[in-house]
């Protein structure tokens, strides 16, 4: 056996292999080393899949090439792009053995020691196993190369890997054809130099954790009776039968009262998509894997989502907030960074968040709205993104209204049949497991989502700032439900943009005694309903300000 330090320093992420086969005993010893890696809560959640068939390798190589082209397009310069395309970043077809190292998140269906601070500990255990395998192969004269440039959803589909199994990537295994000059390949090719020593900081003092500022809610103020009478008279005197413009007349009155003028103008409209991940998604309650949250954020930032199209169409400024996505976005990404944590805990077993995290959500949501208000905006729409958040919203609705969980659960992203039954069963069990009280703050701490509570805090702040705020679909309406229960005054400033196809939304709107503008059978989220309804709100403002009165047009109103 080689000296351990020699093994560690000679380990390489290998992309060049000989044609030598990998003996079964070599692979078995390496996997045994992986099995002896640290495992959080002794869950043994790491899974291994071995691939030797050439046709399967070819299909995986195709997946790599598709994403590798995408990676090349986001390099910083043309020179860097050329250098990147010249790198050899895989040996999928050349390596004798392929291995998928993955972790089984279904272990989180039962209490697991060590996962309360971060359910990513399951993933970290699998990474430890991968490193042990790498070191074992190195000691035996073999090596491994990690391929992560893949669409993981397609990757899992291709290999028929169960939905609850999450791959770290594809690993190429064989006998190395080179030692890369005893340095990392990317360093040998002058892509980047590895630092000569580790980055170590000695902490000798601590900093006090700041207390969260909690604003007192403003009680419901009686509308300015004189202004209300003035607005209603102005609306009634337009050249039309009284009430003929229906909901538009009510919208015009509301907008005028919010802006405290009989000639209101909407300035710098914004739509904010709050995004976060949910621990409950680990239990198969969604039709899509959690990874889709991060992928959709990237889609928003690249301008490819429905909300981008609608905001561009109607000249609405779009902002994306990372309220708690289970992903580390680059620091230069054009996000509003308000990450509370990398997703909530699963409320099947424990509270989704701490009371401090709950308070952070309200504070951060208010900060986002203040930041937008400071840009001169007086109108803001609230949208969301987060795999699993319809489940969170359904439980919150069931806990905060008289409706049963069965009445509050719908298809969400598209679950049906057995998966829908499983969703109802998991959420019902979660409510049964809850031992807390009916106190609002206790309920939203236990069952809340970071993006939902940040929206609730933002809605409260929009009211304080005398802004008009637009509520999107089911999940945004649950955020409003929370904010409304904390401060009923906010209803004066809220416009409900549509009734979604999520079955509980209609019940919730009726419970709140509000009338949505549209009913288009939408269930997309993202604030899409706000953007589509916005021109109707503009029409209400336009007729109030620009339509002739009976007197100015010389038309008899008798």
**Residues marked as catalytic:** 526
444 neighbors 354 (Cβ within 8 angstroms)? no
Other Cβ atoms less than 10 A from the Cβ of 227: the count is: 15
356 neighbors 212 (Cβ within 8 angstroms)? yes
In 3D, which of 544, 553, 517, 547 has the Cα closest to residue 532?
517
Long-range contacts of 327-331 (CB under 8 A, 24+ apart): 327/293, 327/294, 327/297, 329/297
| ∠ CA 264-268-272, rounded to 5° | 120
Q: How far is residue 325 CA from its own chain's centroid? A: 5
Task: Give the C-alpha separation, 493 to 459, whole Å.
Answer: 9
Strands, E, within 359-514: which ranges? 379-385, 468-471, 494-496
Task: Give the C-alpha separation, 307 to 103, whole Å.
Answer: 34
Other Cβ atoms less than 10 A from the Cβ of 199: the count is: 5
Tell which phi-psi region holds residue 136, choosing left (phi > 0), alpha (psi between -120 and 50) or beta.
Answer: alpha
| ∠ CA 380-381-382, rounded to 5° | 125
457 neighbors 365 (Cβ within 8 angstroms)? yes
317 neighbors 269 (Cβ within 8 angstroms)? yes
In 3D, which of 324, 287, 285, 276 has the Cα closest to residue 429?
285
Task: Give the C-alpha separation, 152 to 166, whole Å.
Answer: 8
At residue 539, φ and ψ (nearest 5 deg) are -65, -40
DSSP code for 344? P
Task: Give the C-alpha separation, 264 to 88, whole Å.
Answer: 60
Strands, E, within 37-160: which ranges? 46-51, 97-104, 143-147
300 neighbors 319 (Cβ within 8 angstroms)? no
Task: Give the C-alpha separation, 389 to 350, whole Å.
Answer: 17
153 neighbors 67 (Cβ within 8 angstroms)? no
| Residue 545, Cβ density class (10 Å: 0-12 exposed, 13-18 middle, ≥19 buried) | middle
Task: Give the C-alpha separation, 38 to 298, whole Å.
Answer: 33
495 neighbors 378 (Cβ within 8 angstroms)? no
Task: Give the C-alpha separation, 498 to 514, whole Å.
Answer: 11
CA distances from 261 to 72, 220, 364, 545 (A): 53, 19, 30, 11
In 3D, which of 195, 210, 10, 15 has the Cα closest to residue 93?
15
């Amino acid at each position: 056996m080689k000296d351990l330090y020699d093994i560690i320093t000679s380990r390489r992420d290998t992309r060049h292999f000989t044609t030598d086969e990998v003996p079964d005993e070599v692979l078995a010893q390496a996997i045994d080393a992986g099995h002896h890696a640290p495992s959080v809560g002794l869950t043994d959640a790491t899974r291994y899949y071995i691939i030797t068939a050439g046709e399967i390798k070819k299909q995986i190589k195709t997946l790599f090439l598709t994403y590798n082209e995408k990676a090349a397009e986001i390099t910083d310069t043309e020179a860097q792009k050329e250098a990147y395309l010249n790198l050899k970043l895989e040996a999928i077809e050349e390596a004798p053995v392929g291995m998928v190292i993955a972790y089984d998140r279904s272990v989180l269906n039962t209490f697991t020691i060590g996962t309360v601070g971060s359910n990513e500990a399951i993933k970290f255990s699998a990474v430890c196993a991968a490193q042990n395998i790498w070191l074992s192969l190195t000691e035996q004269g073999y090596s491994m190369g990690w391929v992560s440039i893949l669409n993981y959803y397609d990757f899992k589909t291709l290999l028929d890997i169960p939905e609850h199994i999450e791959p770290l990537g594809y690993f190429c295994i064989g006998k190395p054809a080179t030692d890369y000059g005893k340095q990392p390949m990317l360093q040998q090719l002058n892509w980047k130099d590895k630092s000569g020593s580790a980055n170590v900081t000695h902490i000798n003092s601590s900093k006090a954790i700041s207390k969260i500022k909690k604003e007192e809610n403003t009680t419901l103020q009686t509308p300015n009776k004189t202004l209300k009478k003035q607005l209603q008279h102005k609306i009634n005197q337009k050249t039309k039968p009284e009430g003929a413009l229906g909901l538009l007349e009510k919208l015009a009155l509301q907008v005028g009262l919010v802006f405290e003028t009989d000639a209101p103008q909407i300035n710098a409209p914004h739509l904010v998509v709050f995004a976060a991940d949910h621990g409950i998604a680990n239990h198969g309650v969604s039709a899509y894997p959690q990874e889709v949250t991060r992928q959709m954020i990237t889609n928003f930032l690249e301008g490819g989502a429905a909300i981008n199209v609608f905001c561009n169409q109607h000249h609405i400024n779009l902002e994306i907030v990372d309220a708690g996505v289970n992903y580390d976005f680059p620091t230069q990404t054009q996000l509003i960074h308000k990450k509370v944590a990398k997703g909530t805990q699963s409320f099947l077993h424990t509270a989704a968040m701490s009371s401090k995290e709950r308070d952070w959500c309200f504070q951060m949501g208010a900060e986002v709205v203040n930041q937008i208000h400071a840009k001169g905006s007086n109108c803001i729409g609230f949208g969301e993104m987060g795999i699993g958040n319809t489940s969170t919203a359904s439980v919150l609705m069931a806990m905060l209204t008289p409706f049963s969980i069965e009445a509050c659960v719908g298809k969400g992203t598209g679950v049906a049949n057995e998966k829908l039954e499983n969703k109802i069963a998991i959420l019902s069990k979660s409510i049964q497991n809850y031992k807390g009280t009916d106190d609002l703050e206790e309920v939203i701490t236990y069952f809340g989502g970071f993006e939902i509570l940040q929206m609730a805090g933002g809605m409260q702040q929009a009211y304080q700032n005398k802004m008009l705020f637009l509520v999107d679909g089911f999940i945004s309406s649950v955020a409003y439900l929370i904010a409304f229960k904390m401060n009923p005054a906010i209803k004066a400033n809220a416009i409900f943009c549509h009734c979604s196809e999520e079955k509980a939304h209609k019940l919730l709107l009726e419970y709140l005694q509000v009338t949505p503008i549209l009913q288009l059978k939408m269930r997309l989220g993202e604030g899409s309903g706000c953007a589509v309804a916005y021109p109707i709100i503009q029409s209400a403002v336009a007729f109030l300000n620009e339509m002739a009165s009976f007197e100015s047009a010389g038309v008899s109103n008798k």
